[in-house]
């Protein structure tokens, strides 16, 4: 393990930094898109509800690996949709962020729907009684409380997103999962490589799990 760290230490650190950046971008993207889909699923307009539910059902039942391959082989090389024409690695990383956002938005949507269920029905009725529209009541009354009620599942989703960044190894080797695959191909100490990257992901995810658990408890007490 020591030889691997001395040889690839800087590369491993850079790969984990790339993983963190990828997770942060995809986390924000999935939160924004997932919130939009959740509003669609709760909308009084039947067409929007149908679109929202269709999105969730299709994406949740589509393997993330398939989405990754689709982004490069289908969207980039067949349809010519490049997110960065000057750099193949950058293009693949950007598509990885997009596909992670699209995939995890479905789970963000369901987490927010569970948070909406924690909001008393009287809150929505009161919002309507004072003349607020659906969008106003969602923005001012329902969603702020739903986010508080969904802190734990949203945190779990973000942790799952960090671990799912390893799936991007099928199209790019710049992040931790891809680098691990390259090192395993070049080195004989496979167990040591696995341990190094496993410890790295534990360091990334364990503090987040503790933080979100503590945060959800504090918000639950204040509600």
Could you tell me the CATH number of the domain that includes residue 23? 1.10.3720.10
The answer to whether the CB of 112 falls within 8 A of the CB of 34 is: yes
Structure confidence at residue 180 (pLDDT): 77
Q: What is the pLDDT of residue 4?
A: 65
Structural domain tally of the chain?
Answer: 1
Neighbours of 210 (CB within 10 A): 11
The pLDDT assigned to 5 comes to: 67
Report how far apart, in Å, the C-alpha atoms of 167 and of each of 77, 103, 161 are: 20, 12, 10
Report d(CA 82, CA 135) in Å as an integer: 35
The 10s digit of each residue's pLDDT in 79-135 is 888 888 778 888 888 999 999 999 999 999 999 998 888 888 777 788 888 888 888
Token pair of 211 as six digits: 């933080």
Q: Which domain holds residue 155?
A: 2-222
Query: Which parts of the chain sit beneath pLDDT 50?
Result: 221-223
């Amino acid at each position: 393990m020591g030889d691997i760290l001395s040889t690839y230490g800087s590369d491993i650190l850079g790969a984990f930094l790339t993983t963190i950046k990828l997770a942060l971008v995809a986390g924000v993207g999935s939160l924004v898109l997932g919130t939009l889909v959740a509003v669609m699923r709760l909308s009084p307009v039947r067409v929007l509800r149908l679109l929202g539910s269709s999105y969730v059902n299709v994406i949740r039942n589509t393997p993330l690996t398939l989405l990754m391959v689709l982004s490069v082989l289908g969207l980039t090389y067949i349809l010519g949709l490049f997110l960065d024409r000057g750099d193949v690695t950058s293009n693949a990383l950007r598509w990885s962020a997009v596909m992670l956002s699209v995939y995890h938005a479905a789970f963000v949507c369901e987490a927010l729907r569970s948070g909406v269920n924690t909001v008393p029905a009287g809150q929505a009725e009161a919002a309507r009684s004072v003349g607020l529209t659906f969008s106003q009541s969602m923005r001012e009354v329902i969603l702020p409380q739903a986010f508080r009620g969904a802190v734990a599942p949203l945190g779990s989703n973000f942790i799952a997103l960090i671990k799912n960044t390893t799936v991007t190894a099928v199209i790019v080797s710049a992040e931790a999962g891809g680098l691990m695959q390259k090192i395993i191909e070049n080195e004989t100490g496979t167990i040591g490589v696995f341990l190094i990257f496993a410890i790295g992901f534990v360091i990334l995810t364990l503090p987040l799990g503790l933080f979100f658990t503590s945060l959800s408890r504090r918000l639950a007490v204040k509600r």
